């Protein structure tokens, strides 16, 4: 429900005192107290204290029951608080006191729609639209033009039309509202921007939303809508600062946490998105989008076991969503639960049989389950559905190599590398396959490409050395073997440094400082470039009171990390 609470309360706050003072049927003391309660409610609403605002507006309706404004304000606030039944009662009272009020008619329709009273909601939307059009006609007929008031009515009419998804008509009304009051009309620029974005007229929508954010820099909704439009255009990088600013201004902005989480996730910032998805679920525990994407983020950060409960909850909410089945299958696959993963991928395929990614996922699960014929069938299907995907032919190439079908393996690997030429592992595997096929010159070319892309891995150097030797290039082969030996030695030393550092950390936790120092020194002796060993040695020295030595080690660690 999107009742324009702030606009309604603001308008009432400007006119309530006049309305109260003109009602001579009420006792002066009661009227004064009603006015005070109304203003207190407005102040509490602005501060975000909705429950306090509710009490104040309720007190105003008690003290001045014959005035429509307190009922309108209380109804709008109750609707914003998710209490549509109570809101409807207040709107109906306001309409008895002020029949035909267009804003109240529209708000009553929105509250009714939330309760699924479809016919009543449609009737009230129509009544609200009729009343606004009549008011505009009356303005023109009277000869007493009031552009600011007319602008407000066009904005109200546009909002009613937008609620009915009549976007072109809504755009026309918002444009007219801006024409009548072009200066400092941030809300209407925002409304127009949102309506244009709904029609995917993004360049113009962005212009309007940027104007709204500039005119009202402290309005969280303006930055939120601008961020959403940028994300819809695929520009999450620029969307994130606006969404963050919106949440800074209003941490409880509806859907704000979710919109920012989705943008961060699309940017690959999975860790940053996780707490935002979790905050969304604190307020909306059954939100399927938040559940699904939190499960995905957890899986992508290696926390598949934690992801499964969220994905299972998402599946209960949306059992026919193939994406949820797929994500759950991936989470199971990451835990080596191959049978469970296969079931989920099969269920997803029933819902989306022409998805190349689902055929690839199922083929990979079959491969890991050693169901090779099934794997080949699914991977080949994935490749045929989308020939631009590099993963299906790459995985097929590895599978064929494992089955000893070298010609097929080489063909699939070449197809994969044509699509992703920067895959160093792929070139290394292709080189190995070609070597086994006794195609030494082609193998040499592939392996040199692998060495170029993976200069610090010993494996491609070793295989290349063997091919060079077979081709009679003994000096080059010796050079490659030496490089491989050096890289292997470096890798072993780095592994030794890591083990000694971990042992030092455990000793440090036990308070065995001298033992920790010895372990860190062993780590540094094995790999002097290992920054963590220097950093931890600095901690141990500090605990021994060796301040200068600690500083020296910390400086070394920082320099190594920078490099």
Predicted TM-score (pTM) above 0.75? no
Tell me, yes or no, whether 432 lies in a domain. no
Residue 537 included in any domain: yes
Q: Is the pLDDT at 22 greater than 50, yes or no?
A: no
Identify the pLDDT of residue 152: 85
User: DSSP character for 67?
Assistant: -
Query: Does 163 reside within a domain?
Result: yes
How many CA atoms lie less than 13 Å away from 8 in the CB half-sphere?
28
In a domain, 5, yes or no: yes
pLDDT at 139: 64
**Residue 187 included in any domain:** no
Note the pLDDT tens digit of each residue in 54-85. Answer: 999 999 999 989 899 899 999 989 988 888 77
Whole-angstrom distance, CA of residue 555 vs CA of residue 562: 11
CATH number where 558 lies:
1.25.40.10
Tell me which of 72-76, 141-145, 319-323, 426-430 is least confident: 141-145
pLDDT of 244 > 80? The answer is: yes
**Distance set, CA 274 to CA 135, 281, 288, 447 (Å):** 50, 11, 15, 41
Q: Indicate the range of 19-28, 151-160, 352-361, 455-464 predicted with least confidence.
A: 19-28
pLDDT at 131: 63
Give residue 428's pLDDT band: very low, low, confident or very high (50, 70, 90): very high
Looking at the structure of the chain, the number of domains it has is: 2
Contacts 24+ apart (CB under 8 A), 538-547: 539/508, 540/504, 540/508, 540/513, 540/516, 541/517, 543/508, 543/513, 544/513, 544/514, 544/517
> Which of these three, 121, 147, 170, is where a domain ends?
170
Q: State which of 143, 170, 197 marks the end of a domain.
A: 170
CA pair distance 439, 100, nearest whole angstrom: 87
User: If you count them, how many residues does the chain have?
Assistant: 563
452 phi-psi bin (left φ>0, alpha ψ -120 to 50, beta other): alpha
Answer whether residue 8 shows pLDDT above 70. Answer: no
Contact 71, 34 (CB under 8 A): no
DSSP 250-284: -TT-TTHHHHHHHHHHHTT-HHHHHHHHHHHHHH-
Asked if residue 476 lies in contact with residue 491, where contact means CB atoms within 8 angstroms, the answer is no
Question: Which run of H or E residues covers position 547?
Answer: helix 547-562
Q: With beta carbons less than 8 A apart as the criterion, state whether 121 and 128 touch.
A: no
Residue 429 domain-assigned (yes or no): no
Is there a domain that residue 547 lies in? Answer: yes
CA-wise closest residue to 522 among 540, 535, 503: 503
375-388 burial code (b ≥16 CB/10 A, e <16)? bbebbbbbbebeee
Which residue among 129, 154, 170 closes a domain?
170
Boundaries of domain holding 507: 492-562
To the nearest 10°, the Cα dihedral for 133, 139, 141, 142? Answer: 150
Could you give the CA distance from residue 341 to residue 361 in angstroms, rounded to a whole number? Answer: 9
Mean pLDDT, residues 168-192 = 93
Residue 368: DSSP 8-state: H
- 164 pLDDT above the threshold of 90: no
How does pLDDT run across 441-496, given as a tens digit for each residue? 999 999 999 999 999 899 999 999 999 999 999 999 999 999 989 888 888 888 89
Counting DSSP H helices and E strands in the chain, the numbers are: 30, 0
Indicate if the pLDDT at residue 132 is higher than 70: no
Question: What pLDDT digit, counting tens, does each position of 519-545 carry?
Answer: 999 999 999 999 999 999 999 998 888
How many C-alpha atoms does 537 have within 13 Å on its Cβ side? 28
Average pLDDT value for residue range 385-411:
96
Mean pLDDT (the chain) is: 88
Nearest to 80 by CA among 4, 141, 143: 4
Sorting pLDDT into bands at 50, 70 and 90, what band is 199? very high
19 to 60, 90, 93, 442: CA distances (angstroms): 13, 18, 16, 90
Tell me whether residue 150 is in a domain.
Answer: yes
Residue pair 550/538 in contact (Cβ under 8 Å)? The answer is yes
pLDDT at 117 over 50: no
Q: What span, in angstroms and rounded, lies between the C-alpha atoms of 173 and 150?
A: 11
Q: Decide if pLDDT at 5 tops 50.
A: no
Q: Which of 299, 378, 291 is nearest to 342 (CA)?
A: 378
């Amino acid at each position: 429900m999107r009742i324009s609470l702030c606009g309604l309360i603001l308008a009432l706050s400007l006119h309530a005192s006049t309305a109260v003072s003109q009602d001579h049927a009420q006792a002066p003391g009661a009227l004064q107290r009603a006015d005070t309660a109304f203003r207190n409610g407005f102040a509490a609403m602005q501060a975000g204290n909705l429950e306090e605002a509710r009490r104040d507006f309720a007190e105003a309706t008690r003290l001045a029951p014959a005035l429509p404004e307190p009922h309108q304000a209380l109804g709008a606030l109750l609707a914003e608080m998710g209490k549509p039944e109570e809101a409807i009662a207040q709107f109906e009272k306001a309409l008895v006191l002020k029949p035909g009020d267009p804003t109240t008619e529209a708000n009553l329709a929105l509250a009714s729609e939330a309760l699924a009273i479809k016919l009543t909601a449609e009737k009230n939307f129509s009544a609200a639209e009729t009343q606004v059009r009549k008011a505009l006609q009356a303005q023109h007929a009277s000869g007493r033009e009031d552009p600011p008031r007319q602008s407000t009515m066009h904005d109200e009419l546009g909002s009613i039309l937008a609620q009915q998804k009549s976007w072109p008509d809504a755009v026309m009304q918002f444009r007219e509202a801006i024409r009548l009051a072009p200066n400092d009309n941030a809300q209407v620029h925002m409304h127009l921007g949102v309506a244009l974005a709904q029609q995917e007229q993004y360049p113009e929508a962005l212009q309007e939303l940027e104007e709204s954010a500039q005119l009202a820099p402290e309005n969280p909704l303006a930055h939120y809508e601008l961020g959403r439009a940028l994300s819809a255009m695929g520009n999450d990088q620029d969307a994130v600062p606006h969404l963050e600013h919106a949440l800074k201004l209003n941490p409880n902005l509806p859907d704000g946490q979710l919109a920012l989480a989705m943008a961060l996730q699309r940017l690959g910032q999975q860790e940053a998105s996780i707490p935002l998805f979790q905050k969304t679920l604190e307020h909306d525990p059954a939100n399927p989008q938040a559940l699904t994407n939190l499960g995905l983020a957890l899986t992508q950060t290696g926390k598949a076991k934690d992801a499964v409960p969220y994905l299972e909850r998402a599946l209960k909410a949306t059992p026919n969503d193939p994406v949820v089945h797929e994500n759950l299958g991936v989470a199971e696959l990451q835990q080596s639960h191959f049978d469970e993963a296969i079931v989920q991928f099969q269920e997803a395929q029933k819902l989306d049989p022409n998805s190349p990614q689902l055929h690839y996922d199922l083929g990979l699960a079959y491969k890991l389950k050693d169901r090779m014929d099934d794997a080949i069938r699914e991977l080949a299907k994935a490749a045929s559905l989308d020939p631009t995907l590099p993963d299906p032919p790459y995985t097929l190439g590895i599978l064929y190599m494992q089955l000893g079908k070298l010609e097929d393996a080489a063909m699939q690997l070449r197809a994969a590398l044509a699509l992703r030429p920067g895959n160093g592992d792929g070139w290394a595997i292709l080189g190995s396959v070609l070597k086994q096929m006794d195609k030494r010159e082609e193998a040499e070319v592939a392996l040199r490409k692998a060495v170029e892309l993976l200069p610090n891995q010993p494996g491609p150097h070793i295989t290349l050395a063997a091919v060079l030797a077979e081709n009679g290039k003994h000096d080059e082969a010796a050079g490659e073997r030496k490089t491989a030996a050096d890289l292997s030695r470096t890798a072993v030393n780095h592994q030794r440094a890591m083990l000694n550092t971990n042992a030092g950390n455990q000793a440090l936790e036990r308070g065995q400082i001298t033992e920790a120092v010895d372990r860190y020194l062993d780590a540094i002796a094995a790999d002097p470039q290992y920054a963590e060993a220097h950093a931890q040695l600095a901690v141990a020295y500090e605990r021994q009171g060796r301040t200068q030595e600690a500083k020296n080690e910390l400086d070394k660690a920082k320099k190594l990390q920078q490099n």
